[in-house]
Structure 1
Amino acid sequence: METSKKRYPTAFWVCSASEIFERLAYYLGRSLILIFITTAVLEGGLGLSDKVGANMQANMTAFSYLGAVFGGFVVDRFIGAKYTTPVGMVITGIGYYIGSIATGAQHIYLMILTVSIGLGLFKNGPIIGRVITDKSQMDSAFSIRYTLVNVGALIGTFAVGILYKDVFAKNGVLGFAPCFKLAALSMILGAIWYVFVCWKHLGTIGSKPFKLEKTAEELEMEKKEHLEDQIKRPLTTIEKKRIGAIILASAFSIIFWIFWYLAYLPVYYYWAENMNWVVAGYTVPATWFDAANSLFCIILGPVMAMLWNHLAARPQGDMSLFRKTGLGIGIIGLGYLFYAAIDIMRGDAKASVLLLIVFALLLTLGEMFFSPLGHSFISKYSPSKYLGLMMSMWGIATFFAAKLYGYAYGFLFGGTFKFTNACFIVAGIAFASAIILFTLDKRLSALVED
């Protein structure tokens, strides 16, 4: 198809690059929070329990996505996302600075609140959904965007492991505070990039609330129906069905993200005691597991983009989002089977930490079949006047997943079940979910067809 060979606009590249700043800061802070909270006070931490640390990290993840609902309402109704995005970056930077001066749990909660408000206003995803106007390019474009997002995530997760324990550590005190300050600086630099570079190429895109920025499909509908006020018109039947499809896809994403986030906690807790973390005489930081995930996202992003372009060019068209989601959840299930296999094979010895590379690859492959495509799906089918809110549905699903995965960890891996049995339970649920999505694919896909 000719459309699959079109180049992405410059605005797509510069706006996607802005997320390098945001994700660098986010993953630097998110990866650090578990260690900072549980490290002894004399070593520069807060000296709290691992359960408190897990819940605080879960809250940071959850409320960062819940803030998207507030931001979605703002950009749909009142202020263009082009303006809220750099403002949100500055507010987020202030939140990370609060983390750098934290002396107790109350400061961490204030940091989480401030970061959540800032990220709620960061609406770069919906803007990219309007920069790319060809639906056949959406999946590949958002996969490329995911690669750029994970450039920042890779830098943040890789650097933090070295910075806090090697570069900024002094006299036995670990360098948590300077790392949080770096996160704050990254957000301020990102805001400057957005105003002086992204604005130049965006033109009028994102200048108005999304209810005032109609797609070509909506303009054609308005023309056919001779409507004078597109904003106040009721939703059509197909638009209602599409909103329902977005909500259903978001609901299934709760299962995916619970299992995805859950996969990280055994790395920090179970495998911390049952793996040999020394490679060639160097103790590998646990945060490098996050870095491996980001690296694989960077590698797989262009590969998946080519795959989606190839599938879109087929006579029968692309694979549906629901099938892709099913594959993603199924691959996550395979990852948990690999976790169990490691535990069985190691016996009473410690397994090599290098085995986590294979698990990280499976985790990332499942992610690439799912995560980048959610915003693409919503950009294709959401009515413009609800674009920000529909994007936040993805965030609400992640909020619930982030709030639940800590409890899931406590139930499955907290002592009720053997580690291997807990992995088998997660894998079984993942495979069952994948089967359901494949079985219902035609009915679910029919919701978005006009």
Structure 2
Amino acid sequence: MFGHPIGLFVLFFTEMWERFSYYGMRALLVLYMTQHLIQAAQTDTIVFGFAKLQSGLEGLFGPLSTQALASQIYGLYTGLVYFTPLFGGILADRILGPRKSVILGSVLMAIGHFLMAAEAFFLLALLFLILGNGCFKANISTQVGSLYPPGDLRRDGAFTIFYMGINLGAFFSPLICGTLGQRYGWHYGFGAAGIGMLLGLLIYLFGQKYLGEDQFVKPAENAIVPAPLTVKEWQALGGLTALAVLNILFWAVYEQQGNTLQLFAEHDTDWHILGWEMPSTWFQSLNPAFIFLLVPLIDRVSRHHASQGRQSSSVGKMAFGSILLGASFLILIFAISGSETNQKISFLWLALCTLIYTLGELYLSPVGLSLVSKVSPPRLVGMLMGMWFLSTFFGNYLSGYIGSFYEQMPKQDFFLLLAVLAAGTGLAIFAFKPLLKKAVGSD
């Protein structure tokens, strides 16, 4: 189909519905906590484990406001979502195989979304979502790479198509889950996310025949000990580790879109158009919408450069993406400085900011996934894909910590901090570009 195996589109729609469920829930999470859950938990509503969690966080960071506490929980949740794929990859490599791991993860996440319907099970629901994502995320991505033989030039394009599936789900989820949650009740939004997860599971189950043979073979008890890693494999491992470390700050800044930027969209942005007010959660549909617009443009530019022998390296693309992310927040600083005190800015400024950091994302995230798939030793691909997501764990947790300062700093200063962190990451990647290129290869 379109020059690619049909299995790619089975994985495309499976991931699309999984991301629908994830981003639908994420669009509501910070608003749900700041506007309902935390106040309810601190008054008369039972939320199992919440008091101990709050006590533990305040023991580490001191007294936390409602916004700061919500930011910390957001960072922990979104971080752990990217921590568990490391173990999900190992589970798939050694015990279950990638397909069974994806099925297990889908079931766990569906349970988690439906548990969100009751305040009492809020933390248990997050636990199910974290564990389910760990089984699902690394193993769905590695199956994309396994559809193509080594050296197949379609592989990068396949990951770009797969990335479009991610963003198709991410586009519709704030429009559906966000609107249901904000206008009709939080639990309607969370329930819609759960239904999306079930649809993804069904597509994956019925599409098994298009995924080819399951490459997983459970090691025998008397299996021969694998040979040590070669020098080239160690170099690839070292290069990926270095990029993963630098990747942390990118995601710490980028993930503010579901945290402090969603609060900024709710309280400091004017969403009226022709006398009608859009739900603020629609802000989170801007990023995937721009991805649909930008991917064909980036692909055309990339093909043009390749035809002239000027194709940029993967490392160079990732550095450029980080710098673009930093530049995007200069737009908000300019918009705030040009408005009167306490005056809301037009949503068009936030849209322009989103356009720029989306372009930065496209130069980093799919390129990073493809790079891990290409240069990882085959026997470690699941674990190293998990390691790549582990860097996103640290970045997402750091995003929650950084976001806890949102109310304590002038907004211009907070956005300047984000700009410096992201641009500094890009400059660091550029500085180490020769060493990193040598480690991970010419790509």
TM-score using structure 1 length: 0.85
Tell whether the 8 Å contact from 1:146 to 1:301 is kept in structure 2 after alignment: no
- In the other structure, the counterpart of 1:66 is 83
Distance in 2 between the 1:153 and 1:115 partners?
17
- In the other structure, the counterpart of 1:223 is none
Cα gap change, 1:266/1:304 in structure 2, threshold over 3 Å: closer, same or farther?
Answer: same
Q: 2:123 aligns with which of 89, 97, 109?
A: 109
Distance in 1 between the 2:283 and 2:273 partners?
14
CA shift at 1:189, angstroms? 1.9
Cα gap change, 1:258/1:196 in structure 2, threshold over 3 Å: closer, same or farther?
Answer: same
Distance in 1 between the 2:242 and 2:402 partners?
22
CA shift at 1:243, angstroms? 0.8
Q: 1:322 aligns with which of 300, 309, 315?
A: 315
Confirm or deny that 1:423 pairs with 2:437. Answer: no
- In the other structure, the counterpart of 2:154 is 137
> Structure 1 unaligned runs (5+)?
1-5, 170-174, 213-228
CA shift at 1:39, angstroms? 2.5
Distance in 2 between the 1:304 and 1:311 partners?
11
- In the other structure, the counterpart of 1:331 is 324
Distance in 1 between the 2:302 and 2:215 partners?
27
Alignment length, in residue pairs? 414
Q: 2:377 aligns with which of 369, 378, 383?
A: 383
- In the other structure, the counterpart of 2:47 is none
Distance in 2 between the 1:180 and 1:44 partners?
18
CA shift at 1:49, angstroms? 2.4
Q: C-alpha offsets along residues 202-221 of structure 1, whole Å, 9 cap, x if unaligned?
A: 12144446x89xxxxxxxxx
Spell out structure 1 runs of 4+ moving beyond 6 A.
41-48
- In the other structure, the counterpart of 2:194 is 184
Distance in 2 between the 1:70 and 1:154 partners?
29
Please give the secondary structure, in 1, of the residue aligned with 2:154.
Answer: helix
TM-score using structure 2 length: 0.86
Tell whether the 8 Å contact from 1:38 to 1:45 is kept in structure 2 after alignment: no
Q: Percent identity?
A: 26
Q: C-alpha offsets along residues 60-88 of structure 1, whole Å, 9 cap, x if unaligned?
A: 21111111011011111122202211221
Cα gap change, 1:313/1:42 in structure 2, threshold over 3 Å: closer, same or farther?
Answer: closer
User: Which range moves more in the overlay, 433-442 or 401-410?
Assistant: 433-442
Distance in 1 between the 2:38 and 2:241 partners?
47
- In the other structure, the counterpart of 1:298 is 292
Cα gap change, 1:241/1:111 in structure 2, threshold over 3 Å: closer, same or farther?
Answer: same
Cα gap change, 1:367/1:271 in structure 2, threshold over 3 Å: closer, same or farther?
Answer: same
Tell whether the 8 Å contact from 1:64 to 1:112 is kept in structure 2 after alignment: no
Aligned-pair Cα RMSD in Å: 2.6
> Structure 2 unaligned runs (5+)?
44-64
Cα gap change, 1:290/1:206 in structure 2, threshold over 3 Å: closer, same or farther?
Answer: farther
Listed as ranges, the matches of 1:36-435 within 5 Å are 36-40=32-36, 49-100=66-117, 102-104=118-120, 107-122=121-136, 123-133=139-149, 134-166=151-183, 169=184, 175-197=185-207, 199-208=208-217, 232-315=226-309, 318-348=311-341, 349-411=343-405, 413-415=406-408, 417-435=409-427
CA shift at 1:138, angstroms? 2.9
CA shift at 1:179, angstroms? 2.2
Please give the secondary structure, in 2, of the residue aligned with 1:39.
Answer: helix
Please give the secondary structure, in 2, of the residue aligned with 1:287.
Answer: helix
Q: Structure 2 counterpart of 1:440, which letter?
A: F
Q: 1:448 aligns with which of 433, 440, 443?
A: 440
